[in-house]
Structure 1
């Protein structure tokens, strides 16, 4: 229930962030700067806050997520650019916590209670099926009801999100137990980052996993920004909530496929993800193809065009790949990332992701949308190549585990002493 409330608080906002900013009179460049603030905040502050979860507790980090995102929702009531910027910074911190603290708490609690590791695959696939599928669809339809049917305005989904986040926080405080990563008193934050960096550098599988995640999620978040202007290049009136719900239905289908694949002992996640990355790469080429094959309309306003409908099909295919990606990457992270620094390493992965998205959004007015989609397609194809390498070495034993790294660091200190 907690995870569903947490993810509902995020999904309710998704379809209306860009639209809300346009109703306040901001152009694509200014909106891009606001998005940059969010991803930059996730990279700088969010990485630090997310990494503190290993030392200070994952339950506290999840509560911090709820509080931070509620404050971000409140700022959406102001049309002032500076206030919205603060909201984006708070949202960036919350996003880092959402994609690290909850998963870290779940994995630690799972093993603490002695459950079978195979059950994690089922838990992840169900979480994505419900969270990134059913809850996302209902969130999109509910947001459409609030904004279009009830005419409560584009800020109403953010108010609804704050309510769900408050409910989730109440359940966390009343029913969750605390768990930690490496709670050693002698380890400060800098030491945690250093240890995580050494772990990534010394284990090719973890490094490949981080690169794959950054490439895919970077393309995914760029898509989140681009799909609205791509489907309404001439300010066409498009049903944001309904289209978003359609995307999430495709994502739910993808997570259902992933659950079947993960349940098969004969099917390796490292193998089938190569195909998924190639399909996702091809799906984001559709806006480029429609630009060449379909004569673009120059009429302002109106409904979604034929080219837009074709693009929606491609975007739904991409979202199905997203639905397969989430439980699959969670499964691989549970296999390869050491428990002692799970949150820290997961937030390390988000640094190149956020740098990439910030660069894209900073140059959003310098390049046409087709160029942006082409770049995302290339990155996804590169991810498939790296996934092929990971599949080739996935069965090899680690040369050094986390415990050995800590032991080696302890031995290095007296050697380096004067």
Structure 2
């Protein structure tokens, strides 16, 4: 039975489809919150987990190094979970990944600091961050495959965009919690105890998501492969590397676009606003919250656009919009314009191009090795782009305040070119 026969038939979305999307999105939002909330408290963590006599810039650099370390274990966790997801089922790995994220998040909230146990504090933090990386490596590709194989094929783009939007809502949740913590508590109280609250909340609600995922069902595509005995006859990863290297490269580059949009525009820019332009933390976080809402809308529209216009054309439109809007945003900041919220919101909307990325990646691989192929390319790219971008961002900002614009602009231009190529291939 070939892969074309495993496409879902044309039909309308059912209540069961909606339930699957809702539960998947809820779990994805909570898991992404657990992985990302670290960055919102990087300055606090730097003070608590490293020696007080260490220079501030060194503490900050090492804290971002620990954040980046979570990206380095993504390929290993993703490849292992994808292997069993292609052979044993999507649902099992989908549930396991969120448990492996929630438990370390809870433990981070309980960790003793440098003042209590010395050098063991950053080492334990690093170990838990590595576990988080392994978990997110299986969660994101698994979630995209899971929802894409559940819904009718004419809604695949919308489903992928909706799920990606839930990941951005996880970032929004982290930003809102950070805003609340900084609004309610003084810096002294945050350093003493309140910094633990976001991690404890993430761990508890993550465990709730583990329970809720019990109600999900295996994907129809995987069940068909089981029934017709068309599961991979060799190690899925071996087949990916032997027969689908071009798809791996394509998805690797698409993930670079995903990482640039999320890491630079959403996660790193609020800190840049405070450091370079003396924007008060509360104002920077409020602008970031609005940007994430616009990003969420862009994700859904980009996903729906893939169903109506095609993935290539949608990628081209959003990448050109991102190229122009982000350059205007950063250049206006550098020119001294302080009324930046609208420019930031428009840029974040076009960063919603990340909503079409999973649609293109899911379609790049046949069902029997889809999880492994998508996971390999996505997580390798996250290890490279996600691991190096925060360090690059920290160093390059000292060279030029326009460094983010050149970085995101280059990635956007490459994405637009990719959109043209995919259009010619009728994708």
TM-score between the two structures when normalised by the length of structure 2: 0.75
Per the TM alignment, residue 137 of structure 1 is displaced from its structure 2 partner at its CA by 4.6
Instruction: Measure the CA separation in 2 of the matches of 1:263 and 1:44.
Output: 32
Please tell me whether the aligned partners of residues 71 and 90 of structure 1 are also in contact (alpha carbons under 8 angstroms). Answer: no
Instruction: Measure the CA separation in 2 of the matches of 1:318 and 1:52.
Output: 38
Partner of 2:159: 123
Please tell me whether the aligned partners of residues 176 and 289 of structure 2 are also in contact (alpha carbons under 8 angstroms). Answer: yes
Please tell me whether the aligned partners of residues 147 and 154 of structure 1 are also in contact (alpha carbons under 8 angstroms). Answer: no
Question: Helix, strand or coil for the counterpart of 2:149?
Answer: helix
Identify the match of residue 44 of structure 2 among 11, 19, 23.
23
Please tell me whether the aligned partners of residues 169 and 292 of structure 2 are also in contact (alpha carbons under 8 angstroms). Answer: yes
1:133–1:8 distance in 2 versus 1, CA, 3 Å: closer
Q: Deviations over 1:74-112 (max 9, x none)?
A: 2322232112212221221122222111222233344xx
1:43–1:279 distance in 2 versus 1, CA, 3 Å: same
Per the TM alignment, residue 10 of structure 1 is displaced from its structure 2 partner at its CA by 3.4
Q: Name whichever of 340-349 and 360-369 sits farther off.
A: 360-369
1:241–1:286 distance in 2 versus 1, CA, 3 Å: same
Please tell me whether the aligned partners of residues 50 and 343 of structure 1 are also in contact (alpha carbons under 8 angstroms). Answer: yes
Matched, 1:357 2:386: yes
Identify the match of residue 34 of structure 1 among 66, 82, 88.
66
Instruction: Measure the CA separation in 1 of the matches of 2:83 and 2:140.
Output: 12
Per the TM alignment, residue 384 of structure 1 is displaced from its structure 2 partner at its CA by 1.1
Partner of 2:91: 59
Matches within 5 A, 1:198-213: 198-201=242-245, 206=247, 209-213=250-254
Per the TM alignment, residue 127 of structure 1 is displaced from its structure 2 partner at its CA by 3.8
Aligned pair count reads: 368
Please tell me whether the aligned partners of residues 258 and 357 of structure 2 are also in contact (alpha carbons under 8 angstroms). Answer: no
Partner of 1:274: 316
Per the TM alignment, residue 333 of structure 1 is displaced from its structure 2 partner at its CA by 3.4
Please tell me whether the aligned partners of residues 270 and 288 of structure 2 are also in contact (alpha carbons under 8 angstroms). Answer: no
Q: Deviations over 1:365-391 (max 9, x none)?
A: 542253244123212211211221111
Please tell me whether the aligned partners of residues 12 and 160 of structure 1 are also in contact (alpha carbons under 8 angstroms). Answer: no
C-alpha RMSD of the superposition: 3.2
Matches within 5 A, 1:389-408: 389-394=421-426
Per the TM alignment, residue 69 of structure 1 is displaced from its structure 2 partner at its CA by 0.9
Matches within 5 A, 1:287-298: 288-290=330-332, 292-294=334-336
Please tell me whether the aligned partners of residues 66 and 94 of structure 1 are also in contact (alpha carbons under 8 angstroms). Answer: yes
Matched, 1:220 2:261: yes
Q: Deviations over 1:343-383 (max 9, x none)?
A: 11111222134213323344455422532441232122112
Partner of 2:118: none
Partner of 1:285: 327
Per the TM alignment, residue 136 of structure 1 is displaced from its structure 2 partner at its CA by 5.6
Instruction: Measure the CA separation in 1 of the matches of 2:163 and 2:217.
Output: 18
Partner of 1:298: none
Identify the match of residue 105 of structure 1 among 135, 141, 146.
146
Partner of 2:280: 237
Q: Deviations over 1:23-73 (max 9, x none)?
A: 131633112211221111113333333333212321121122111111221
1:76–1:117 distance in 2 versus 1, CA, 3 Å: same
1:390–1:161 distance in 2 versus 1, CA, 3 Å: same
Please tell me whether the aligned partners of residues 172 and 292 of structure 2 are also in contact (alpha carbons under 8 angstroms). Answer: yes
1:388–1:207 distance in 2 versus 1, CA, 3 Å: farther
User: Which 4+ residue blocks in structure 1 deviate beyond 6 angstroms?
Assistant: 180-186
Question: Helix, strand or coil for the counterpart of 1:337?
Answer: coil
Please tell me whether the aligned partners of residues 295 and 351 of structure 2 are also in contact (alpha carbons under 8 angstroms). Answer: yes
Partner of 2:30: 9
Question: Helix, strand or coil for the counterpart of 2:244?
Answer: helix
Partner of 2:371: 343
Instruction: Measure the CA separation in 2 of the matches of 1:185 and 1:158.
Output: 39
Partner of 1:197: 241
**Structure 1: tracts of 5 or more residues without a match:** 111-115, 295-305, 396-418
Per the TM alignment, residue 2 of structure 1 is displaced from its structure 2 partner at its CA by 2.0
Matched, 1:145 2:189: no
Instruction: Measure the CA separation in 1 of the matches of 2:332 and 2:138.
Output: 38
Please tell me whether the aligned partners of residues 69 and 91 of structure 1 are also in contact (alpha carbons under 8 angstroms). Answer: yes
